[in-house]
Structure 1
Amino acid sequence: MKQVLQHRIDATFAHYDVNRNGVIELADVYALANRLLLAFGEPASSERGRELVEAYDRFWEAIVGHCGAGRDGRIGPRAYRDAMIEAFVEGGPINVDFLEVVRALLDIADTNGDGRVDAAEFRVLLKARGLSEAECGLAFSHLDLDGDGAISVDEYVAAVRDYYTNPAEDTPGSWLYPEALQRT
């Protein structure tokens, strides 16, 4: 059980290590936020843009605080894994900050403001995070639980929580990063 969850966390580490230097730094976090803002054409100065950057910033503060790395520190794969296990598997204090990032992501992705993310919006979100076109479609088909062609914020938040806490291989959350599923 724990091995599956650790593998999933390790897969997400690669998405946060934007510059691929083997550690996550504040610059990686901001680069990911900027990549998402650019993908959706959202200025960082807009309300939604500021909310996304601020949510990522709070997440960074929480995770470096847990790791004892300091704001300008660097977080390696092991420290990241330990922090995320505390946050989700054990339900520690980072949980709230991370879920704020998840909600801010969905707010940016919800370009028409209907409170849901359709397949095209979701594809932009996941491609900006580094997933392939095929992985985006696969993830969406498993996360759209009611088959209405969209993912609600609540569905996505539940899937993220499921990804980090449920070691089963065919749950909605297990499909957030299909490449992680394929390696378990």
Structure 2
Amino acid sequence: MKQVLQHRIDTTFAHYDVNGNGVIELADFYALAERLLQAFGEPASSERGRELIEAYDGFWDTLVEHCDADRDGRISPQDFGQAMVLAFVDGGAFDVVFPEIVASLLDLADTNGDGRVDAAEFSVLLRARGLSEAECGLAFTHLDTDGDGAISVQEYVAAVKDYYTNPARDTPGSWLYPASLQPA
């Protein structure tokens, strides 16, 4: 069980280490934000662009607080793994940080402005994060827990929390990154 959660944390680290240099740095977070903004055709100077960058800044600050033991602006895989368990899995930082970043991500994804993130919009978000079209469809189907055809902030936050805390393989969170996060 613990192996599944550790695999998810390790894979998340690899996702955040955008430049692949073995550590997470603020530049990686800006690269992620830029990738998302480009996927949605949103300029960083727009209101939604600024909100996303501010949310990523806040998330980075929280990660540094919990993960960067030597305060050098670089988070190693070991520090990330230990801190994710202490601060986010076992601690309360998750409930403070993730709802804000999820709200910014879903606001960005709501390209038609209807207040909902449908399957097509959610697919753009996940493809920008490296998922295939098939994985996007699987994730959407499992994360839309109320079956209304849209992903809400509450559904996405619940799935992310489930992803980090529940080692079961068939829960909404286990489908957040369907193929890439299942241990062999």
Superposition TM-score, scaled by structure 1 size: 0.91
In 1: Cα distance, 2:98 partner to 2:150 partner: 22
Deviation of 1:154 (Å): 1.2
Q: Is the 8 A contact 2:44 2:50 kept in 1?
A: yes
Q: Helix, strand or coil: the match of 1:147?
A: coil
Paired AA for residue 125 in structure 1: L
**Structure 1 residue aligned with 2:65:** 65
Taking only aligned residues, the RMSD between alpha carbons, in angstroms, comes to: 1.7
Q: Does the 8 Å CA contact 2:69/2:79 hold for their aligned counterparts?
A: no
- Unaligned runs of 5+ residues in structure 1 are none
Q: Which residue of 1 aligns with 2:116?
A: 116
Distance 1:154 1:95, change over 3 A: closer
Q: What's the offset of the Cα at 1:24?
A: 0.8
Tell me how far 1:119 sits from its aligned partner.
0.8
Matched, 1:133 2:133: yes
By how many angstroms is 1:46 displaced? 1.3
Aligned to 2:27: 27
Task: Write the letter of the residue equivalent to 1:115.
Answer: G
- Letter aligned with residue 59 of structure 2: F
Query: Residue type of the partner of 1:17?
Result: D
The offset of 1:64, in angstroms, is 1.1
The 8 Å contact of residues 103 and 153 in structure 1, kept in 2 or not, is answered as yes
Summarize deviations over 1:14-68 as a string: whole Å, max 9, x none.
1111111111111100000011011111111111111110111111111112223
What is the CA–CA distance in structure 2 between the aligned matches of 1:116 and 1:91, rounded to whole Å?
30
Q: Which moved more, 1:106-115 or 1:94-103?
A: 94-103
| Other-structure match for 1:80 | 80
Pairs aligned (count):
183
Equivalent residue letter for 2:134 = A
* 2:27 alignment partner AA: A
Instruction: Give the C-alpha shift of residue 116 in structure 1.
Output: 2.0
Task: Tell me if the contact between 1:8 and 1:163 (Cα under 8 Å) persists in the aligned partners.
Answer: yes
For structure 2, the residue ranges without an aligned partner over 5 or more in a row are: none
Three-state SS of the structure 1 residue aligned to 2:151 is strand
Partner of 2:89: 89
Match of 2:51 in 1: 51
1:126 to partner: Cα distance: 0.5
Q: Provide the rounded CA distance (Å) in 1 between the counterparts of 2:89 and 2:26.
A: 24
- Is the contact between residue 115 and residue 153 of structure 1 (CA under 8 Å) also seen in structure 2? no
Counterparts of 2:158 and 2:5, CA distance in 1? 16
